[in-house]
Structures are given as C-alpha cells and as structure tokens.
Amino acid sequence: MKILLAACNAKYIHSNLAVFNLRAYASEYRDNILLREYTINQQKDDIMRDIYRAGADVVCFSCYIWNITFVKELMEDLARILPDTDFWVGGPEVSFDAEKFLEANPHVKGVMEGEGEETFLELVKYYVEGRTQLEEISGIAYRDDNDVHHNGWREVIDLSTVPFAYENMDDFANRIVYYESSRGCPFSCSYCLSSVDKKLRFRSLDLVKKELQFFIDRKVPQVKFVDRTFNCRHDHAMAIWKYITEHDNGVTNFHFEISADLLREEELELMKNMRPGLIQLEIGVQSTNPDTIRAIHRTMNLEKLTALVAKIHSFGNIHQHLDLIAGLPYEDYDSFRHSFNEVYAMKPQQLQLGFLKVLKGSHMMEAKEEYGIVYKSREPYEVLSTRWLSYGEILRLKMVESMVEVYYNSGQFQNTLEYLEPYFADAFGLYEALGAFYEKKGYGEVSHSRIRRYEILLEFLEEYPQIPVDAAADRMIYDLYLRENLKSRPAFASSQKQWEKMIWKYRRDHDVAKTAHIEVFRDGKVLLFDYTRRDPLMNNAYVEEIILY
C-alpha cells in the first residue's frame, strides 16, 4: 500500500511544511508514504506522469488559495487514468466547506479538515492495516458510495508531539525553509483564518533550540518562521532570539512575523547587538485608520508602533517589511493614501501593498454584505470593490502597488526616489503619477530590464519641467553603481572622458582595487564605490567621497 503526499507550491523556492509534518507524524509507516513537491508553473502532464508512475493507491493533495483550481483540474484528469486510486485533500481552502467540496468534486474520496497530523496517521492505519473504519476517524468528511459523511472537527494537538519535519537539507538547496514554534493566534483579525481558532500553542523550547541548531549547523540560508504573531509570548520569543544570537553562524537569516507594539525594551536591546542580517521582521500594519482598525478587530497603538519601527531602523542591522491591505472596511481612496504615507514615512526596507482576500471561514466572509464587499468568485477571492472603494479606484491602487514593487521594494532606486518625492504632493502621489504614466504609455504590459526602468523614469520626468533632469540622472547613476560595477554605462550617464587620466592616477597612487568604481558627478563630487565592502543589510557597495586633485 502506497500513500502519496503531494504539494503544488506557488514557486520553486517555496516548500510545503504541512506535507513534511504529516509524513513525520506518521513515521512508523514511512515505507508506505511517498512525498512529492511540484509547482503550479509546471505542466500538468508532467505532474500527472510522475504521479501515475509513483503507483500510489492513495493520493493526498494540500490545498490553498494559490493552487486549488490547479489541484482540482489535476485530480479530475488523474481520476480518469487512476480509477482505483482514492484522492484526499486537506488545507485551509477545503477545510471550511468540506461537504460542499465533495459534492462538487465526485472523484475525491474525502477531506481532512484543520490540523492534519493525527487525522492523516489514522487514515494511513485505515489503508495500510484496516485497524480503523472511516466513520471512526474525526476531522474528516468523506464519500461512501453516493453519500457524504462528516465526522466533525478534531481537537487540536500538542505541537511538541509533532516530530521534526526535516532530514536531508540537500533537498532544500536554493529554497526557503519554513519552521513553526507556535500555532494559533491571540488576535481576532477579521480577514485572517488564524483568528478562527483561539487555541494558541507553543512548541517546547528545548525542541525548538535543538531544531534551530540543526539549521545553524548546516548553514541554511534562510529559515522563515510561520508563527502568526511570533512575539505574542515574551519569554518564548526572547528565548529563541537569544539562542540564535548566541549560536549565530554568520550566514543563516531568520524571518519573523511580529506585532511591533508588543516589543519590550529587553528584546530591543538584544536586537540592537545582533549581526546585521541575522533576523528580518515582517510587521502587519494593514491600516492606520482607527475606524478600520476597530472594524477588523485589531489592536494597534500607531504612535508606539511608529516609534518602535524607527528605533529598530536606527540599529541599522535589521530588515523591516511593513504590510498594508487595501479594501478593508471604512478605508476609502483618500484614507488609504493617508495610511500609505504614514507607513511609507517609517522607511521600511519593503512596503507590501496587498489587497483584501475574502477567505472561507473568516469573519470577513460573514460580514461581506454589511461592508458591501464584492470579490472575485474564484481564488484568491480578492476584493473588487467595497462601500468605500470602487473598482476603478482598486485599479488605480493596483498600479501604485506595481510601481512600489518595481521602484521601492527592489531597493534599486532609493536615492533617486528620495530626490523626487519633494516634487510631488506626497509619496503616494509620486507612485500614483508614475503608475498613470505606465498605463498611458502601455509600459505595464511588458517586462523591462533594470536599465530600461531608469530610462522610463527619466521619460516620466520630462512631464515635470520643474524637476532638474540632470540631477535626477545623477541620482540614478549613484543607485546603479551602488549595486554593481556596470559593464557598460547607460546613455543618460555623464561623460567621464575628461577625468580619465586623473582617475587612472588616483587608482595607481592609492592602489584601488580593479573591481572598485570611481565616478565624477555633474556637481563635481567624486565617489569611490568599493564592492569588497558591502552593506550586509542591503548589499550595497561601501561609498566614500574622494579628491582626485
């Protein structure tokens, strides 16, 4: 008897912690369990061929908003070529309407609801040994002939009883490794499924430290904690942050989703002395509108959050990623603009502008009529309009999101953007105008090289005669050389011909490395870009002003 656990990830660099946890929990039947990871970008025929050749008697798919249509289409075809195979599904996209899902997908045998470790183990026993019957297994809905049965949800488990999921890290080369030290969330954000189950549980710190050491010893590039609010228990978070600081291997980066306004002075003092790049923090702000915050059942002290983000920023060693969500209740276009500007002013390394997803099982789904939320009928169930925000305004925000992603989050235009912002009403206005320009020119419909993005930006500035184009071009040259020593200079760069002999003499007299670059700017300033000494946080070259003569 072979049982195949199949994951269809959004990208190759992602991995699926859930299927590895299921296999680890049912380790006594390891010889009966196969595990495969695919991506939704693969050809379905290739995946079908691989699953067919695996010869499994049972195939279990992990389902999320990013793969559910892909998985359903895959199973429908697999059922035609594997008529004697039982197909099971699990995950958040099928857990909250299991019976409805089975009725709509007659080729699927059953659904595992919620946490699946114990449920999967009992299913394995059912198939391998026949020791149980399906009607005895809680946490499932299943098909028996033409009838659908629902056995009720299973109680959540002690997280410390789940064995460590990882073995051979060679399988995760060039991929993100996910890890959880807690499940559940103490907060009640109405758009999030983590708020549905209030049973917050923590993994034993002894286990956590042992498992983190496994990653540290193998110099895994990045470990991403999937804990919904990592620092909701101070002693738990502090113990882990202390451990990774004391056992830092100089390579591994740890990513945490936190609530910034829960941070204490003790944690900040520890962060201040961490290696640059040891940790990165993702902070969900979502909105700065007090009415919105109340409506989505969040608790946030904006003044405290702003001060804490600024303090962490002053350390110069921690990457901060701040999130906003468009389409929330009571947030109209102008209100979102205000939220954007307030978060942008915090100067995070990344600003994620996302759009509300109306998820099955969430409180937002229940309140959709009250808030007039119209959303896509298929995954990812993204907002189309609300009582406060029209579809046309959503489209405008989509262009702002695109411009922020290209020009801000890439980190490749930092100095250029800082120079341009004062010429616009506010930071949002810059990205709004740039997005409108991309639409007018049709530039949003094609991909562009890095240099082309700079050229488009210069073309955009031609519509603003009050902005000195040469000065802006010099900022772009500065940003370009911060990242790399260009093999060929862009057309908008100023000529260096008159300075060549002086640059050559300076290099000889000061034994400047061949890999370094010296640039003379239009205002006469001379900068040396040293790529052997990079900023460990942003990977930018070390820059110093020099005198050629």
Return the residue matching tokens 């109209």.
Answer: 332
Looking at residue 362, what DSSP letter applies?
Answer: S
Asked if 417 and 430 count as a contact pair (C-beta separation under 8 A), the reply is: yes
Q: Please write the tens of the pLDDT for every residue from 468-488.
A: 999 999 999 999 999 999 989
Task: Give 421-466 pLDDT, tens digit per residue.
Answer: 999 999 999 999 999 999 999 998 889 999 999 999 999 999 999 9
Q: How confident is the model at residue 138 (pLDDT cuts 50, 70, 90)?
A: very high
**Ramachandran quadrant class, 442 (left: phi over 0; alpha: psi -120 to 50; beta: rest):** left
Percentage of the residues of the chain whose pLDDT score is greater than 90:
87
Residues 485 and 498: beta-carbon distance below 8 Å: no
User: What average pLDDT score do residues 187-213 get?
Assistant: 82
Q: Which residues pair with 88 in a beta bridge?
A: 60, 110
pLDDT of 188 reads: 65
Task: Check residue 508 and give its pLDDT.
Answer: 94
Mean pLDDT of 148-177: 92
pLDDT confidence tier of residue 243, bands split at 50, 70 and 90: very high
The pLDDT value given to residue 174: 83
Q: Is 7 helix (H, G, I), strand (E, B) or coil?
A: strand
- pLDDT tens across 118-129, in order? 999 999 999 999
Q: pLDDT tier at 269 (50, 70, 90 boundaries)?
A: very high
Angle, in degrees to the nearest 10, between helices 391-403 and 427-441? 100
CA distance 219 to 196: 36
Report which of 305, 221, 303, 222 is spatially closest to residue 263, judged by C-alpha positions. Answer: 305
Q: How confident is the model at residue 198 (pLDDT cuts 50, 70, 90)?
A: low
Mean pLDDT score of the chain? 94
Task: Kindly state the tokens that stand for 24.
Answer: 């680890």
Confirm if 103 and 148 have CB atoms less than 8 A apart: yes
Is pLDDT of 106 > 90? yes
Structure confidence at residue 255 (pLDDT): 98
- Residues 283-303 pLDDT 10s: 999 999 999 999 998 888 999
Q: Checking phi first, is residue 223 left (phi over 0); if not, alpha (psi -120 to 50) or beta?
A: beta
- Mapped to the 3 state alphabet, what secondary structure does 428-449 carry? HHHHHHHHHHHHHHCHHHCCCC
Looking only at the bridges linking them, the beta strands covering 58-62 and 86-90 are parallel
Q: Is the dihedral of CA 191, 193, 65, 360 positive or negative?
A: negative
Q: Which residue, among 241, 233, 244, 162, has the nearest Cα to 203 in the 3D structure?
A: 162
**In the predicted structure, residue 195 carries a pLDDT above the cut 60:** no
Question: Tokens in use for 357?
Answer: 């997803």
User: Scanning the structure block, which residue is given the tokens 């289409």?
Assistant: 73
What is the predicted pLDDT for the residue at 360? 85
pLDDT exceeds cutoff 70 at 197 = no
